[in-house]
Amino acid sequence: MATVTYSKASRIYPGSERPAVNELNLEIGDGEFLVLVGPSGCGKSTSLRMLAGLEDVDRGQILINDKDVTHLPPKSRDIAMVFQNYALYPHMTVYENMAFALKLRKTPKAEIDRAVKEAAGLLQLEEYLSRKPKALSGGQRQRVAMGRAIVRQPQVFLMDEPLSNLDAKLRVQTRSQIATLQAKLGVTTVYVTHDQVEAMTMGHRVAVMLDGVLQQVDTPRALYDTPGNVFVAGFMGSPAMNIKTVPLTEAGATFGALAVPLTREQVAAAQNGDGKVTIGFRPEAATVVTESAEALPIKVDLVEDLGSDANVYGHSDLSGDSERFVVRTERRYMPHMGETIYIKPNTDAIHVFHATSGARI
């Protein structure tokens, strides 16, 4: 069991002026499952590799259980890493792959056997222990990689996009297995993914990164309900939030003929945004209404029929520009391509951001 602390930790690659990770401050609790998420190149994998000892820390510190491990070699950090490509030894059986780290430690054979079989039981791998990795499916190989980490009984699990090589159905199944397993073992886990659905469904807390900078860290629900800035608002949630920068009035914001009321405090906070304010609402936080001068007309470009409901993609003219929108509709209100529908965002689910800084208001 362990806590992990990044204290102003930075990584600057040689020949680059901009840090890949810039002064990361992050505390991960004992037994917590923390997910690092963000687009490609945001610094999430670099942050994980800094903790693993696979990347140098150019400034700042990393601590495990209040012990400074910033410059310790990987083998001295008591961590276990699960890689995207599994990194199994092809000439070894599943049993030998899982036992390898314990053999290096000169662990007694009986103890190795107990640990491997216990992990194999947890991961439903008992019948595959004598097979080589080439005889396994992608999901089974991933479980072997997990088993190899488990038998070491590390202080911290590190997982770098471990599900990205699996097909969609297996990803859903395996992510629930990993989350259940982590809860059962209670080992502090840092998990990297670019998939925000994975982040929302697995993490106790989620840390969102962009361009090497931590944007926000909170529970999945809090990130969804109260994103701290425009980037987090647009990144978390599927389909993405509708975010538009529109004219600011004394009463609020205007989407063409649609007026969005804002509080006096929000209007005041948005005043120095060049007469504009950024408004966001999620696809499920809008209602399809009958034609009205006070509703926003959307011409339908695409309908994604999901069975129980549908995602409707379309566009609307705002101040002479064609802006894209997506709304989620119930099955009984499913429109057709080319049709015009009218929507009203739910006023209690409107997100307001500063037009210049992007910060939540």
Render pLDDT for 84-109 as a digit per residue (tens, 0 to 9).
888 899 999 999 999 998 998 899 99
End of a domain among 234, 250, 283? 234
DSSP 8-state class, residue 303: E
- Domain assignment present for residue 361? The answer is no
The closest of 356, 17, 30, 42 to 216, measured between CA atoms, is: 42
pLDDT digits (tens, 9 = 90+) for 2-41: 999 999 999 999 999 899 999 999 999 999 999 999 999 9
Average pLDDT over residues 218-225: 96
CATH of the domain at 324: 2.40.50.140
Same-domain status, 89 and 165: yes
Output the CA torsion sign for 25, 39, 170, 91: negative
Same-domain status, 346 and 332: yes
Which residue range forms the structural domain that includes residue 281?
240-354
CATH of the domain at 23: 3.40.50.300
Q: Judge whether residue 177 has pLDDT over 90.
A: no
Same-domain status, 196 and 281: no
Same-domain status, 212 and 88: yes
Exposed, middle or buried, 254 (CB in 10 Å: 0-12/13-18/19+)?
Answer: middle
**Pairing verdict, β 296-305 and 309-318:** antiparallel
Q: Which amino acid does the sequence have at 204?
A: H
Same-domain status, 244 and 217: no
Tokens 């917590």 appear where?
32
pLDDT digits (tens, 9 = 90+) for 188-221: 999 999 998 999 999 999 999 999 999 999 999 9
φ, ψ at 104 (rounded to 5°) = -60, -30
- Domain assignment present for residue 360? The answer is no
pLDDT mean across residues, the chain: 92
Same-domain status, 250 and 205: no
pLDDT digits (tens, 9 = 90+) for 124-168: 899 999 999 999 988 899 889 999 999 999 999 999 998 888 888
The closest of 202, 49, 65 to 57, measured between CA atoms, is: 49
pLDDT of residue 255: 82
Percent of the chain with pLDDT over 70: 100
DSSP 8-state class, residue 33: E
Q: Judge whether residue 170 has pLDDT over 90.
A: no
Same-domain status, 171 and 214: yes
Count how many domains the chain has. 2
- Both tokens of 288, joined, read 């399809």
End of a domain among 217, 234, 251? 234
Q: Judge whether residue 1 has pLDDT over 80.
A: no
Read off the pLDDT band of 279 (50, 70, 90).
very high
Distance of alpha carbon 49 from alpha carbon 81, whole angstroms: 9
β-bridge partners, 287 = 344
pTM score, whole prediction = 0.90
Side-chain-side CA neighbours of residue 6 (13 Å): 29
